Amino acid sequence: MLINPQVSSLTKSATLKITSLTKQIKKQGKDVVNFAAGEPDFDTPDFIKNAAKEAIDRGFTKYTPSSGDNDLKKAIAGKLKKQNNIPVESENIIVTAGAKYAIFISLLALASWEDEILIPLPYWVSYPEMVKLTSGKAKFIELPEENNFKLTPELLQKSITAKTKALIFNYPSNPTGTTYSKKELLAISEVIKDAKISVISDEIYEALVYDKKKHTSLACLNSMQDYTITVGGFSKSFSMTGWRVGYLAANNNFIKEVSKIVGHTTSCPCSISQAAAMAALGEKEWQGQISARFEKRRNLLFKGLDKISKIRPLKPDGTFYMFSDIRETGLNSFDFCSRLLEEELVSCIPASSFGKEGFIRISFSASSEQIKKGIDRIDKFVKQL
Ligand code: PMP
Ligand code: GLU
């Protein structure tokens, strides 16, 4: 079969590939420490599962509107208004089969022939590959290591040309864990407004911020609603990665256009998962609990890694990822991760998949016991090099 070259040029998702390889090794009975995980390590809470069972029993098993069940859209708009200060109504929401699909359809809707889509680097693996499937072109903005890999207004300004259509902006960031203060976001938003470009603000890790920092949404800043597509989801905040529910919030015109893509592709997200998401939003206590749990793990991992010579971890403000410098070991990130898995049964993600060499991503979505075991094994591995 002759394959479309746009598709042949795609690389496989390294994060999904390594995560499933790790699960396979575990299934074989091997004692592998999973520092590759891009999902919470605990089960979806019972109150969410029960809502899904109840939805099946009451026959909530048919197509919903393409843009999502009306009650769920209302609940998401309510959450965005109350928690994120974004003035939206349910007409501004599309519920999608995961945040990933929300980003993809936003890119499809934005990027016409040769339009430039700006992607800060290190980036989450799927952004450049998604852009390849559109008519647009990815243009990378190399983020400065000395500024904790943060985007600055100056860097953004320098990267904008007449062809620039949009920026994909993710914070707290996968893979670096960096996040932004309101002041920093305001400065970036001024550049976006001046250039009149759009921004896909991927805020999927919004519930995971530490050290009493507060997440600020780009769309709540002065006039930014006209330029911003806010992407959020349930995968990370409620440990619902397999349920596939996410959403985007944007202005009415954008929503009308993007709903057409959904109508002709997935039709709508799974009705049962939408009922589960509705229950998730009704629970107020959960978010505080989840970030407190991950903050303890972050502290434990940072303390342990920081003591290992030749590994320099970056303390993340959010997410469950610790971006760590391995350049002093002399290995590239792929070799480091392959050998660490083979020799010491610890799986991590090489940062080459995020466009950056010399670093690895270590996920602390693991129990304290696993974190301690993983630190000991990394220490042993590095000492042997
Ligand atoms: N954005 C980022 C930065 C991510 O890490 C992920 C991880 N899966 C997603 C979006 C997509 O999340 P999901 O499709 O599971 O909602
Ligand atoms: N986003 C997670 C990660 O970066 C999950 C895997 C994926 O969707 O790519 O590991």
Q: Is the CB of 16 under 6 A from ligand 2?
A: yes
**Residue 36 sits in the same domain as residue 129:** no
- The contacts of residue 44 (CB under 8 Å, 6+ apart) are 238, 239, 240, 242, 243, 276
pLDDT at 20: 82
pLDDT in tens, 245-254: 999 999 999 9
Same domain, 217 and 100: yes
DSSP 209: B
How big is the chain, counted in residues? Answer: 385
Please indicate, yes or no, whether residues 184 and 266 belong to a single structural domain of this protein.
yes
Give me the DSSP letters along 267-293: SSS-HHHHHHHHHHHT-SSHHHHHHHH
Q: Are both 35 and 101 inside the same structural domain?
A: no
Residue 37 CA: which ligand is closest?
2
Number of domains in the chain: 2
> What pLDDT is recorded for position 101?
98
Instruction: Decide which of 281, 300, 315 is a domain's last residue.
Output: 281
Considering the domain architecture, whether residues 272 and 296 belong to the same structural domain is answered as: no
Q: Could you tell me the maximum CA-CA distance found in the chain, to the nearest angstrom? A: 60
CB-facing half-sphere around the CA of 316: CA atoms within 13 A: 30
Q: Ligand 1 centre and the CA of 143: distance in Å?
A: 21
Residue 373 forms part of a structural domain: yes
Asked if residue 15 has its Cβ within 6 Å of ligand 2, the reply is: yes
Ligand approaching nearest to the C-alpha of 34: 2
Say whether both 212 and 300 belong to one domain: no
In which domain, by residue range, is 74 found? 62-281
From CA 229, how far away is CA 260, in angstroms rounded?
Answer: 17
Q: Phi and psi at residue 17, in whole multiples of 5°?
A: -65, -50
Q: What is the pTM of this model?
A: 0.96
- What confidence score (pLDDT) does residue 23 get? 85
Kindly identify the ligand whose nearest atom is closest to the C-alpha of 16: 2
Report the separation in Å between the CA atom of 161 and the middle of ligand 2, taken as the mean of its atom positions: 30
Same domain, 124 and 242: yes
Radius of gyration for the alpha carbons in the chain, expressed in angstroms and rounded? 21
Domain boundary among 281, 302, 335: 281
User: 91 and 118 share a domain?
Assistant: yes
Show the DSSP H helices in the chain as ranges. Answer: 5-8, 14-27, 46-57, 70-84, 99-110, 126-132, 153-159, 182-195, 252-264, 271-281, 286-306, 333-344, 368-384
Positions of the chain with pLDDT under 50: none
Q: Is beta strand 198-202 parallel, antiparallel or unpaired with respect to 228-233? A: parallel
Residue 77 confidence (pLDDT): 98
What residue's CA is closest to ligand 1, atom 5? Answer: 174
Determine the Cα–Cα distance for residues 313 and 378; give it in Å rounded to an integer.
13
Q: Is the CB of 177 under 6 A from ligand 2?
A: no
Choose one of 10, 12, 19, 202 to mutate for the ligand 2 pocket test, by most ligand atoms within 8 angstroms of C-beta. Answer: 19
What's the pLDDT score for residue 21? 84
In a domain, 55, yes or no: no
Span 117-135, pLDDT tens digits:
999 999 999 999 999 999 9
Per-residue pLDDT at 25: 87
* Rounded CA separation 187/192 (Å): 9
Please write the tens of the pLDDT for every residue from 58-104.
Answer: 999 999 999 999 999 999 999 999 999 999 999 999 999 999 999 99
CA of 271 from ligand 1 middle (Å) equals 20
User: 90 by DSSP, 3-state: which?
Assistant: helix
